[in-house]
Structure 1
Amino acid sequence: MKRIEVVAGIIKEGGKIFATQRGHGEQKGFWEFPGGKMEPGETQQQALARELKEELAIDVNVGDFLCTVEHDYPAFHLTMHCYFCTIAGGKAPELLEHEAARWLTPAELHSVDWLPADIKVVDAIEK
């Protein structure tokens, strides 16, 4: 089975968490924590900062590690390393790849249709 290793950011601001909705591919319409694939030679934190800049046009401070999620999708095995982040410089995220985004309170975390791997991240946030 194909293996994919990615990083994801749990962007926090004012007690809320940023969620994005996929705008393309098989998983279009599902919600996720933004991030993406690591490039050779990058640390997880460097990859996350780069991906969030590419996807959302923001600079972030990558903070504490939350969890690593392992999940088998039908076509691949996903390893996702998740970190808490804050936006640096006060610039609002700009959706360059996603269909929609929402700032969710902890009580609203289950109000969107998360990808299966991201549900595991929500569970980790709630612990």
Structure 2
Amino acid sequence: MNRISTLLIAIALPVAFAAPSIAQEGKTLGTVENGNTTTVFKAADSRDIDTHKLKTWNEFASQHPNVASELAHNPALINDDAYAKKHPQLGAFFSAHPEIRESMAANPGNYVAIPPRPGE
């Protein structure tokens, strides 16, 4: 019995450590075809995301959920100075963290996501 347990642990442990790296290779999660357009959904590769910037943004977003939601639905607002003036907290955040604003403008999906509707 001990040999079997040891063998199972010896097999399971390397597999457990390898699983996250396998998932990061862009595994296809699904596809959607609409007419002659095919959209392929792949697993996220978080290796190129600056987790410090993401954590800083998430702290702001949790304190200002309406602003975060509006930016998720319309990422063009990230570069809209008039919108930032309407929301001084966002303007102050972007002034303090211009690198996050630049990164968000380049890749908004890394920072803002539309939460699923109830039942989705």
Tell me if TM exceeds 0.5: no
Q: TM-score range by the shorter chain?
A: under 0.3
User: Which structure is higher in RCO with an 8 Å CA cutoff and minimum separation 6?
Assistant: 1
* CA radius of gyration, larger in: 2
